[in-house]
Structure 1
Amino acid sequence: MIVATCRNIDLRVEILFDRVLQLLSSTQPPETASGSTLVQCIAQVNLKKLPELVGHDRNKQEDQVYLLINHITKRLDNEVKQAKINLYQAAKNGPMYGCLSGINALLTIVQSDKYESQEDIGPWRSLFAHLIDLCLEIASITGPIVSSSSPEGMMPMELTDISDKVEGENLNGQVTSQMLLVCCWRTIKEISLLFSRLGLLGIKFIQNKDQYKFISLNQVHTICNYFMEQLLKSRHCGAYELAYTGFVIMCEQLWSSNCSELCNLPIEWIENGIKMVEENTLDRNKLCLTRRSGGLPFYLQSILTDEPIKQRGQQRTYVAKLMETLLNIIQNDPDTIDVDGEKLENSRKIHAYNTARSFYRNQRFANDVLPYIERGLLLSITGFTSSIWMIRNSATLLLSTIVQRIFGPSKTKDGEDNLSKKNSMTSREFFNKYPSLFHLFYQQLQQTTSTRSSIESLSSSSLFAILLILRRLYPSPLDGIDCSLTLDKLLPFVIKCEESPLLRIREHSSKALLALINHDQYSSIIHERLKQLMKGKVRQNTLHGRLLQVNAIFQSMKKHHLQFKFEPNFSVQEMLSSLQWCIYENNCSLTQYCYLEFLYNIHCQIPSTQLTNSINEYVNFILKTGDKVTIGGDDLTQIVTRLIVRLENVPVQLKLFLFVEQTQTELCFIETLLTENDLSRFENNLRQWLVDLLLTMDLFNEQLYTKACELLLKMIDKANNYERLTRRIVELIENLRRPMSLAASFNLIGELLPLSSPTNNKEDLIQLVYNRMNDFIDGESNDECACAILNLLSKARSCLYDASNVESKCRYWRLILKLSSFPSDLVRERLTKLMPTILNDQRLSGVFGANCYLAQNVLFEHFTKDALSDVSSDLFVNLIVELFTDLLNDIHSSDDDNGGEEELSLDRRLWPASEGYNNVFVSENETCDHYCARYGEHLLDSLGQILGKSEEENLKKTIAVIRDDSNRLIDIQSEAFNRFLVRQRSTVRLNLMMKFLRVTNTFQEVHLEKLPQQWICDNQDKRNSLI
C-alpha cells in the first residue's frame, strides 16, 4: 500500500511539473504568473524525482533551484530559436516571457551566501553567463518592435510573407499586431527584471576585475549598457518604465558597491547625461517629444534615485547640478532653432521641460526639488506665452506637476470645481515661501490686463496659470502687514480679467478674486461691481465675467453664513431698471443665466416684493421667447426652474414645460427638480408632464428616462390609475441597457402596479412584469437591479402573490428564492431588511439584524409551510428541482466534457502576490461556496418534506440525469485528485448531488467506490450521511 501511494504521489508530481511548464509557455499572462508561483513552490519542496524530471544525472548533486532554472533555460533556448525563425509563430506558441518569468521567480529564492566553493559557484557562473547572452539575443529580436515610432501597430514587413504562410496553415490562430507587441514588451520587461535580479545577486561580491562570485565586472557593464540602450531608444512606455525599475536596482547596488570602478559608474553616467542635455547631443530620432521625451527622464532618475547624501540635511550633489542645468536651459534657450534654413522647435528645451517635470513629480526627489519649486513655477508660467505648441504643452504639464507638489493631490472628486481646504494655503504663507512669484504675478497681470488688446492676445494665456494658482489661496488675517506683499496690489488686475475672451479665464478670475479679499470686503466689492454694471451696456464677455465675480462672492457668503446688505443710498429699483437690458435686449443664454442667478442670490439674502415682481417678469419673458437650442441653455433652464420653485410661480408651469421641450433641456430640468425639497405646489401638473414624457419618449437618452422615473417616484398620486404607464415601462425595460435605468424602472413599477386597475385582464399585466423580472434574474445579474426587484416584490406583494393560486405562489417564490441565492452581500442585506414585508409577517421586523443565514433559514421555513398548505405540491416540487438544477449549473465546471478532465483554474488572482504582479487572494470564493451549499441544502430539505405529497413519476427524468452527472463527477474527482486539481466548488456540487439522490431514495447505481480513499477519509462524515 505504501509503495502504491508513493508511486501515486510521484505520478502526480510529474503531471503537475508538466502542467507548470505548459503554463510557462502560455500566451495568457495570468497563466504565466501562476506558473511562476508554482515553480517557485516546487523548488522549495524536497523532490527526489526532480533530477529525473529535468533530465539531470543523478550522480551529480545539484541544488533544486539550479536544476529548475537550467531546465527552464533550455526550454527558453528552444523558444528563442523559434523566434529567430518566425517571431509571429513565437508570439503564438512560445512567447518567451513566461520562461523568463519563471526564472525570475526562482532567482528570488536563490540563497547566494550558501555557495562558497568553486565547485558550487562554477555551474551558476556558466548558467548566468548563458542567460545574459540569451537575454541580449532576445532583446535584439524584440527590440525593433518596442523601439518603433508606432509600436502599437508595428507589423515588420520582413515577416509578412512568413505570417501569410502561417495564416494559410492555421486560420484560427492569427497573430495580430497587438499580440506581437504584448509578447515583445512583456519579454523586455522580464529581461529587465532578470538583469536586476542578477545585479542583486552578484554586484555585492565583486571586488575587482578578477575577484567576483556570480557575475563579472564586464557582465555588469554589459547589463548596464543594455538598460541604457532600452531607456534611450524604446518608444513603448511599458518597456522603458520597466527598464527603469530594473536600472534603479542596478544603480542602487552600484552606488554602494565595494568596487571603486563600479561605484564611479553612476557618477560617470550622470555627468555624461548632463553633458548630453547641455550640448544637445540627444538623438532626435530616438527620443520622442510627444511621448514626454521617452526614456530620458527615467534614465536620469534611475541613476540619481539612490545617490548618497554627503551630509544630513544637504542636497544631493548631482541632483542639484542636473536641476540647475535643466532650469537654465528652459530659461535661456530660444523656443526655435534654425536647421538647414528651416525654423524648428528647440528639442533640447522640450526635453529639459519634460525631464524637470519628472523630477518634480517623483516623490523620492521631493526634498531635493524644494529649492527649485519657485523657479520652476515661474518658468512654467512664462512657458505659456510661447508660440510653439510643444513648449506650451510641456509648460502646462510642468505647471500641473508643481501645483500638485505644492498643494498636494486633489482631495475632492470634482477637483477644480470644488477645492478642499487641504489643497489650499493662505496667500501670506504662499508668497512668503515663494516671494519672487508675487512680483511675477504682479508684472504678468499688469502687462496682460493693461489694454483690451493685451487681454485678447496670446500672452493672456499666462493669466490662466496665474489664476489657477491664486484660486487655491485664501485670505490670511495677517494680510497687509508685509507692505511688499500686499495682495491689494493684485486685486485690480484680477478684476480686470473679467474682460477676457476666454471663458476659463473669466471663471478662474471669479474664484481667484476670493483669495484676495477678506469677508468684510465682500459687500463693498459687490456694490462696486454693480455700480460699474449700472453705468450702461457692456460687451458680453465683460458682462459675463463681472456677473461671475459677483455670484462667486455671493456663493462664498452663503458658504460662510454671511449676510449681505445694500448700502443706505443704493436703490434696488434703479439697479433693476438699469440692468433690465440683460434680459430684454440680450440674446445670450449664458449671460441671461448669470444675471438671473445674481437676482436669485439677492432674493435669498434680501427678499422683497419689488424684486419678486421683476424676477417673475423676466421669467415670463424668457419662457415666451426661448424657442431654440442655445449654448448655455441648460444653465438657463436650471436657474429659471429654481426661481419658479422658490417664488412659487405656479401659473407659468405649462409655459415652463413648453420652454423645456423647445430648448431640449428636459434632463437639466428634471435634475434640478430632484434637488428641490418642496414641490407640493407643482405636483399635479408636473406629475402629468412626467407621465406624458414617459409614455411618448423613445430610449435614445436613457439618462433622461432614469431621472424621469426617479422624479415621478417622489410624487405618485395613489388616487390615479397608472395601468397604461405601467405597461409602457414594462415594454421599455426590454430595450434598456444601463443598470441604473433598469433599477429605476423596477422601483417605479413597484409603486405603480398596486395602483393599476386594468380595463382588461390584470393577470396579463402581472405576467408581463414577471417575465421582465425573470429575464433579468436568469440573465446577467446586477446588485442594484436585484435590490430594485426585491423592492418591487415587497411593495407589490398584494398583486403578485395570490394565496389561493398555486401557480401565482410558485412564480412569486421562484423570484424570492433565486434572489436569496445571490452571492452579493448588498442583495442579501436588502432581502433580510425586506423579509417582514415579503413574507407578510411584521413579527419578523428587527429580528434578523445583519444575520443573512438566519434570514435564509426563516425564508425556507415559510416556503416549506406555504408549499405544504396546498393539497397538491407538484408545482412546488418542480420549482425546487428547477432551482436546484440551476444551482448545479452555476457551480458546474465548464470543462467537464473536455476529455473527462475538470477545469484547471490556475488564474493568477487565485495565487499569492508575486513580484511584478498585483495578485490577490479571492477570499470571498469560500464564502460564496459555503452560501451556495447552504442554499442547496435548504432546497433539498424542503424537497424532502414536500416530496411525500407529490408523485415520484415527475422526478424520474431529473433523477436519471443527476445520477449520470454524479458518476461522471466521481470519475473527474478521482482523476483530479491524482493531478492536484481538486476544486472546492466541484466538491460542493458532488455533495449536493449525493444528498439529492438520498432525499429521493435513488442512491443506487452511484459508484462511490471510485472516489479516492483519501478524499473519502477526509469527508467520512458526509459519506456516512449519504449511505
Structure 2
Amino acid sequence: MEEKNLLQKLRLLKESKCAGDLDVCDQMDGDICLWRNTLDYNVFESYLIHSSKEIRLEALILLVESKKSIPIFTEKELQLIIVFLTNNIGERMDFMPLMKKVLKRLLHGVSVTQKSIVTQWDIFKRMKFVNGYYDTEYKSASAYLLKILTLPCYAKEDYKLELLFTPTKHIQSDAKKLINILIQRYEAPIKLAQQNIVTAIGKHSLYGFLFCVRSLLSICNLREISMEEDWREMISTIIDQCFRLNEAVTQIVNNSSPEGHLPMDLNSDYLNCLFFDPEATTVTPQMVLLCSWRTVKEISLLFGYLIAEVPISDNTTNASLLSEKQIIDIGELFVKLLYETKHRGAFEQAHVGFQKYCTRLWSLDSKSLNHLPRKWLHELLLAIIGVMPKNPKLCATRRSAGIPFMVQALVISDPNMKNTSKPTAISSVLTILIGLINIENEDELISKAKSLMYDGTIFSDLENTITWTNISDFESTSESRLTEMKVHAINILRALFRSSEPKLRTYMMFEDTLIAAIKSYNKNTWAERNAGTLLFSVLIIRCFGVQRTKNHIELTMDNKKAGRTIFALFPRVQDLFLEELQDFVTNDDSLMKPSVHAILLFLSRLYATKEHEDLDGIFKIKEFSNLVSKCAKGRIYKTRELAARALVSLLSENTVKETIVRLLKTITMAPENHLSLNEIHGYLLQLIEIMKNSNFKTVILPETELIEIVSNSFWILTNLECTNNKPACFSVAGAYLNLLTKIHEKDHWRSKLPWNQLFYIVQTHIVQPSLMKQKPGREEYEYFAPGFVMAICTSWSDTDLTETRKNIIDNLWKSLLTYEEIRVQMISWRIASQLLKKNFSSLIKRIVVNRAALIAFNTFNQDFLNSTIQDELYDFLSCLLRTMDEGRVYLLSSSRVDVMCNFIVIKLSERAQEIDFYERPSYFELLGLAYGKLSQDYKEKHITVQRKEIIYETFMNNCYMESAEMDCRISVAKGIRQLYVHTIMETREQHILLYWWTAMLYLLFDDSDEVRNEVYVTISEIEPKSAVECHERMVTKFFEKFQLNIIKRYPAVAVAALFSWCMELVNDPNDELDENGVFDKCRNHRFFDKERILNICNKYLLELVKVYSVFKFIPDGVQKWLKTQLNLQDIEFHRYREFFTQISSNIQTPRVENLFDYPYLSKHHVVFNIMKIIDNQRCHPVAIQKSYLY
C-alpha cells in the first residue's frame, strides 16, 4: 500500500477509535489475532517499524489515543508500545506527549485495579470481623457499625504529610557555612582581578563563585533569616565583593570593542612581565570576554534575586537583610551597567536583574525607593535629549546597547500599565520618543522637548527639578547631537515593539511609530536611515507576523492582511503612503526616494477583499494601483521590482485583465509617448509578475493587444545590434524575452504570433555575439535567451524540421554550451538536463542531446573548468546515464554508452588523484552511475585494480560527517549503490569490499535523514532482499547481511573490517580535548553511537576469530588496507597471528594513569580478548565448520 493511502487508513481508524466505535464489546472481544477486530497485530507491528516516520507516529497515535482515558491497555497493545520504543527511542520524533498519555493511562489503570482489589479484600475482612465478633443479638447494629468502618480516614493522610515534612533550619545552617567558605575563598581572586584581570581569569572561575552563592541562597528562606545579624553581615560582604568585582570586569565589557580587547594592550607595564612568563596560563581575548560578561551576568542575577526575595525596610529598623543605601547602590550599579556596557550578553542579563529590581521598587510603600524607577527613566530621557547635567556616556552605536533594555525594564515593571485613566510609563515614553523623532528644527529642540516631557506625562511634577536654559554642557545646536538623539529614540521604540511582553500596549501608538519609521528612510544621515530600517522591519513582523516562507517574495496568506482592515485601523498611514507615492511619480525621475521601497514592501503584504473596496474611502485601492504602477519609472532596479510585486498584491480577478490591457498598450505605444527605457522595463516586470502569480493562471490574455505588442516591439531586440544607432537596453530586452517565454506557455497563442522571426533574431545574437553592442546588462539578456529559444524549438514538430533548421538548432546549441558568459553555459546545460528528464522522444531532443554529449566529452579534457559549469556538466551526464538505464528513450547506441562510461570512470578517477581536487556532490553521482553501468554490463573488468581502489577509496573518504558536507554525503550514498559487488572471485580484488562496507557503516549512522534513507534502500537490495524499515531494524539487517555475504564467504576480509572498525571507533581524533579549542562548538551526533557500534563489531569479531584459522595468509590488498587504516606502516605481517601479536605487544599493560583513558582501555579490551582466543586456538586447533566456506 502506498504511503499516502496508508496514512489515510490510519487516520480513519484513529477517528473511529476517538469516536468510541472501536471500544465497544464486539470490537474488543473479536478475533485474538486482530486488534479491535479490524487490524492484524503483525501488520500493526509493521506500521510501528515502517520506514516513514509519519506512518510510525500515526500508528502510535492510533494505539494511544482514545475517547476516554480510563480504558486499560491489553497485553498485546503494551507489547506493541514496547516494540515502538525499542525501535524508535533514538529517533527525532514528536512522540513524548503520546508516551506521557501512555504512562498516565497505565498509572490510572494500576490505581483503579489496586483500588478494586484492596476494596474487595478490605470489605471481606471487615465483614468477617463483624460476623465473628458480635453475637446474634447485635446483628441489628452490625449494618451501622459496618458503615462506620468503611468511612475514609483522612487523618491518616495528614499524618503521612506531617511525617514527610522536613525542617529547613539545618539546610539554611549548612548553606550559611558553605557561603562563608566561598566568601573567604573568593577574596583572593577579587583582589587579583582588581590588580590584573587577565591573570585572575586565567587562574580562577570568577563567575563560578557567584553562581554557587546564588544557588545556595535560593534554597534559603530569606524572610526567615532577615532577623539574624550574621546573615546581614554576610549579605553585605557579598554585595561589597560584587561591587569590587564588577569594577574589575567593566574595563572589558565597557570597551568600545570588547570582542578583541585585552586590558594590557595599552599598558606598557605588562609588556615585560606577562607575555614572557613560561609558566603563565595562555589567556585569549575570547576567554577574557567570556568570563567578564558572565561575571556581569551572575552579579545582575544575584542582585535581582536578592531585591525580589528579601524583605525591604528603611534605615531606621534592622529587620532587613538589605539597607536602603544598599538598595540604592545596587540600582545605581544597574543603571551604570545599562548606560555604559557595550557587550550584548552583559547588558541583556543586566536587563533581567534590573527588571526584577524595578518590579519590586514600584510596589514598595517607601517614597524614597518607590520613586527611583520614575527618576531613572526621567534622567535617561533627559540624557537622550542631551540636557542632563554630567551627561552619562550613552552608546551611540551597537543599536544603543543597553539603553533600550533599560527603558523596557522600567516600563514593563510599572504596576499602573493597564490604567487608562491617567498617564502610564509606556504611554508617556512612546509619546515622548515619537515626538523627539519628529523634531526637525534644531532651534526648536528645547521648547518642543520640554513640552513633550512634561505635558500630560508621568513626569509632570519633575519639571522644576532641572533648569533647561542654563546648562553648560548643553550641545543641542549641533546636528550630530540631534541625529544621535533620534537614533536612540528609534532604537528604544524598536526594542519596545519587538518585545513579546503582553503588558506592553504598544499597539496604541503603532500608527505614529510606523509613520516615523517611514519618514526616517528619507533622512540625510545614514544612522537615522539605518535605525529606521530596523524599526520598520520590527513593525512589519508585529503587523503581519513572523515570516513563514524562506524569502519575502513568495509569501503565504499567513503573512498578509486585507488592506481594508489595515487602513481602517491606521487611516493616516494610508494618507502618508499616497502622499509619498504621488510625490515620487510626479517629480523628475532623477529623484531617489528611499521611503518608497518601504511603502512598496508594506503594500506587497496586502490583498484586496472585494472588487469595489475603495467606494467608502477606507482602502483607496484604485489610487494605489495607479500610483504603484507608475513607480515603474524609478531609476533604481529594485524599485521597479518592488513595484511589480506590490501591484500584483493589489489586483483581483476582476481587475487583472484591465490592468494587463493597459500595460500592453502602454508598452506598445512607448516610442510614440517617448517613455524612458526604465519605465518600459518597469511595465514589463509588472506583466511578468502578473503572469507568474498562481491566482491569475486562468486569466485569458487579450488577443489584439498581444499581437500588437509582439509585432511592434521588434525594436527592443534590433536596437541591441551594432548596426542600429538607436539606444539599446539589455535589461529591457531580457525582461522582454522573459515575458515572451511566459506568453509562449499559453498553447492557444503559439500559432498567432511571429515566433519564428523572434527566434531567428535571438538565435543570431547567440551564434554571433559580436553583432551586439557592448552595453551594461548584456548578461541579463543572454541569461534569458536560452530559455526562450528552447521554448520555440520544443514547439516544433519533427515535420517542421527542415535540414536548414536542424543545422541552425545544432549550431545554436553548440554556441550556447560553449558561450563565453558562464551563466549562459550554466542555464544551457540545465535546460539540456531538463529536456532529458521529460518523457518524450523527438528529433529536437536527439539533436540537443547528441550535441551536448559531444561537447561534454571535449570539455572533460580541459585542465581548468569552472566549478559551476562542472556541476551542471556532471548533472547532464548523470541524467543521460539514468535515462539510458531506465530505458525510457534510446538516444545513444549501447557501444557509445559503454565508451562514454569507460571514459568518465577513467577521467574522474584521475581527477581524484589531483592535488587541488575538491569533492562535489555531482562528481560522486556521475562516477557511481558510470561505474554501475559498466558493472551491469560486465564491462568493469577492463578497469584496473588500482583504478577501482582509487574509486572506492574516494567514496569511503567522503562518507564521514566530519570531513564531507551533507550534500556530498547524500551523493555518496546514492552513488555507492552502483558500486556494490556481490561476488569477487579474484583474491587480489577482495580488499575492495572493505572500502564499500566501511563507507556503508558510517553512512548508516549519518545524522542526515536523506543519507540514511538512501543507505536503507541499498541495504534492502543486498541479498537476501528485504523491505525498508526503521533505523534500528536496518542496523540489524546491515550486520546480518554482512555476516552472510562477507563473514561466511570472505573471512579474511571480515576480520580486517571488524578489527579496523573497532580501532577507528576507539581512536577517533575528534574525541581528544584541546585546551585551545575551549570555545569550539561540540558536535553531538544523533545516530552515531560509538559504544553501540563498537560492541556489535566486537561481538562479531570474537565469534569469527573463534572459528577462523589465524595462521592463514592475509591477501596483499587486505594487508595494505590494515596498514593504511590503522597507520601501521612500520609493521610487517602476513598472517593474522603475527598481526595481532604485534598489535598486542604495542599495547602495554594498563597502569594507574590509564584507568580513565577510555580509548586505551577499549583498545586493550578488544586485543586482549582476541589474543585469548588465539592462544586457545594454538593449544586446541579448531576444526573448520562446514557452514563457513574457507
**TM-score (structure 2 length as normaliser):** 0.69
CA contact (8 A) 2:628 2:643 kept: yes
- One-letter amino acid matched to 1:623: I
- One-letter amino acid matched to 1:705: Q
Per-residue CA deviations over 1:789-835 (Å, capped at 9, x if unaligned) read: 4443431335xx65211332332144314532553254554333212
Per-residue CA deviations over 1:331-358 (Å, capped at 9, x if unaligned) read: 2343798969864351222221221121
* Correspondence 1:186 to 2:294: yes
Counterparts in 2 of 1:617 and 1:796: CA distance versus 1, 3 Å: same
- One-letter amino acid matched to 1:251: C
* Correspondence 1:655 to 2:837: no
CA contact (8 A) 2:523 2:529 kept: yes
Counterparts in 2 of 1:210 and 1:668: CA distance versus 1, 3 Å: farther
Per-residue CA deviations over 1:491-550 (Å, capped at 9, x if unaligned) read: 222121111101111111111112332222222211211211222433221121110111
Aligned twin of 1:939: 1101
Counterparts in 2 of 1:379 and 1:486: CA distance versus 1, 3 Å: same
Aligned twin of 1:597: 738
- Offset of residue 284 of structure 1: 7.3
Aligned twin of 1:859: 1041
Match of 1:749 among 902, 927, 932: 927
Counterparts in 2 of 1:733 and 1:966: CA distance versus 1, 3 Å: same
Aligned twin of 2:760: 617
Residue 112 of structure 1: SS of its match in structure 2? coil
* Correspondence 1:780 to 2:963: yes
CA distance in 2 between partners of 1:675 and 1:434 (Å): 49
CA distance in 1 between partners of 2:988 and 2:941 (Å): 23
Aligned twin of 2:990: 809
Residue 289 of structure 1: SS of its match in structure 2? coil
CA distance in 1 between partners of 2:442 and 2:598 (Å): 19
Aligned twin of 1:70: 180
CA contact (8 A) 1:829 1:852 kept: no
Residue 663 of structure 2: SS of its match in structure 1? helix
- One-letter amino acid matched to 2:274: V
Match of 1:160 among 268, 280, 305: 268
* Correspondence 1:730 to 2:909: yes
- One-letter amino acid matched to 1:167: F
The 10-residue stretch of structure 1 (624-633 or 827-836) with the greater mean CA deviation from structure 2: 624-633
CA distance in 1 between partners of 2:946 and 2:1054 (Å): 22
CA contact (8 A) 1:266 1:303 kept: yes
CA distance in 2 between partners of 1:573 and 1:892 (Å): 67
Aligned twin of 2:438: 331
Two-structure CA RMSD over aligned residues (Å): 3.8
CA distance in 2 between partners of 1:850 and 1:635 (Å): 51
- Offset of residue 625 of structure 1: 4.6
Aligned twin of 2:1062: 884
CA distance in 1 between partners of 2:234 and 2:1091 (Å): 46
Counterparts in 2 of 1:433 and 1:959: CA distance versus 1, 3 Å: farther
- After the TM superposition, which residues 105-504 of structure 1 pair with which residues of structure 2 at under 5 Å, given as runs? 105-112=215-222, 115=225, 118=227, 121-156=228-263, 159-170=267-278, 174-202=282-310, 204-206=311-313, 210-257=317-364, 259=366, 261-277=368-384, 280-281=387-388, 286-309=393-416, 311=418, 317-334=424-441, 343-344=479-480, 346=482, 347-364=484-501, 367-414=504-551, 416-451=552-587, 453=588, 455-458=589-592, 460-477=593-610, 479-483=613-617, 485-504=619-638
- One-letter amino acid matched to 1:491: S
The 10-residue stretch of structure 1 (769-778 or 544-553) with the greater mean CA deviation from structure 2: 769-778
Per-residue CA deviations over 1:434-453 (Å, capped at 9, x if unaligned) read: 111111112211122113x2
CA distance in 1 between partners of 2:304 and 2:834 (Å): 57
The 10-residue stretch of structure 1 (502-511 or 779-788) with the greater mean CA deviation from structure 2: 779-788
CA contact (8 A) 1:330 1:353 kept: yes
- One-letter amino acid matched to 2:1150: R
Residue 332 of structure 1: SS of its match in structure 2? coil
Residue 638 of structure 2: SS of its match in structure 1? helix
- One-letter amino acid matched to 1:751: L
- After the TM superposition, which residues 556-595 of structure 1 pair with which residues of structure 2 at under 5 Å, given as runs? 556=693, 558-567=694-703, 570=704, 572-586=706-720, 587-595=728-736
CA distance in 2 between partners of 1:358 and 1:61 (Å): 42
Higher relative contact order at CA 8 Å, sep ≥6: structure 1 or structure 2? Answer: 1
Residue 616 of structure 1: SS of its match in structure 2? helix
CA distance in 1 between partners of 2:578 and 2:1078 (Å): 63
CA distance in 2 between partners of 1:207 and 1:172 (Å): 48
Residue 739 of structure 2: SS of its match in structure 1? helix
CA contact (8 A) 2:514 2:536 kept: yes
- Offset of residue 751 of structure 1: 1.0
CA distance in 2 between partners of 1:219 and 1:735 (Å): 71
CA contact (8 A) 2:355 2:409 kept: yes
Aligned twin of 2:785: 640
Among all aligned residue pairs of Structure 1 and Structure 2, give the percentage whose two residues are the same amino acid.
Answer: 19
CA contact (8 A) 1:994 1:1003 kept: no
- Offset of residue 944 of structure 1: 2.7
Aligned twin of 1:607: 749
Residue 456 of structure 1: SS of its match in structure 2? coil
CA distance in 2 between partners of 1:341 and 1:531 (Å): 55
- Offset of residue 925 of structure 1: 8.0
The 10-residue stretch of structure 1 (804-813 or 538-547) with the greater mean CA deviation from structure 2: 804-813
CA distance in 1 between partners of 2:550 and 2:781 (Å): 25
- Offset of residue 585 of structure 1: 0.3
Aligned twin of 2:980: 797
CA distance in 1 between partners of 2:1150 and 2:1174 (Å): 19
* Correspondence 1:667 to 2:826: yes
Per-residue CA deviations over 1:38-94 (Å, capped at 9, x if unaligned) read: xxxxxxxxxxxxxxxxxxxxxx99733333333333333222222233233223333
The 10-residue stretch of structure 1 (959-968 or 389-398) with the greater mean CA deviation from structure 2: 959-968
CA contact (8 A) 1:335 1:391 kept: no
Match of 2:1136 among 930, 954, 957: 954
Residue 563 of structure 1: SS of its match in structure 2? coil
Which stretches in structure 2 are left out of the alignment for 5+ residues? 1-169, 446-473, 721-727, 795-805, 885-893, 1114-1133, 1179-1190
Per-residue CA deviations over 1:244-265 (Å, capped at 9, x if unaligned) read: 1221122223234465543333
CA contact (8 A) 2:338 2:347 kept: yes
CA distance in 1 between partners of 2:422 and 2:497 (Å): 15
Aligned twin of 1:1000: 1174
- Offset of residue 752 of structure 1: 0.9
Which stretches in structure 1 are left out of the alignment for 5+ residues? 1-59, 911-919, 977-981, 1005-1027
Counterparts in 2 of 1:955 and 1:744: CA distance versus 1, 3 Å: farther
The count of residues paired between Structure 1 and Structure 2 equals 899
Aligned twin of 1:89: 199
Per-residue CA deviations over 1:846-891 (Å, capped at 9, x if unaligned) read: 58886123213322322455436xxxx5555444433433333239
CA distance in 2 between partners of 1:153 and 1:310 (Å): 41
CA distance in 2 between partners of 1:391 and 1:892 (Å): 48
CA contact (8 A) 1:813 1:863 kept: no
CA contact (8 A) 1:877 1:950 kept: no
Counterparts in 2 of 1:293 and 1:848: CA distance versus 1, 3 Å: closer
Residue 723 of structure 1: SS of its match in structure 2? helix
Counterparts in 2 of 1:495 and 1:882: CA distance versus 1, 3 Å: closer
CA distance in 2 between partners of 1:392 and 1:738 (Å): 46
Aligned twin of 1:913: none
Per-residue CA deviations over 1:991-1014 (Å, capped at 9, x if unaligned) read: 54554344334699xxxxxxxxxx
CA distance in 2 between partners of 1:230 and 1:143 (Å): 8
- Offset of residue 472 of structure 1: 0.8
- One-letter amino acid matched to 1:604: E
CA contact (8 A) 2:661 2:705 kept: no
CA contact (8 A) 1:933 1:988 kept: no
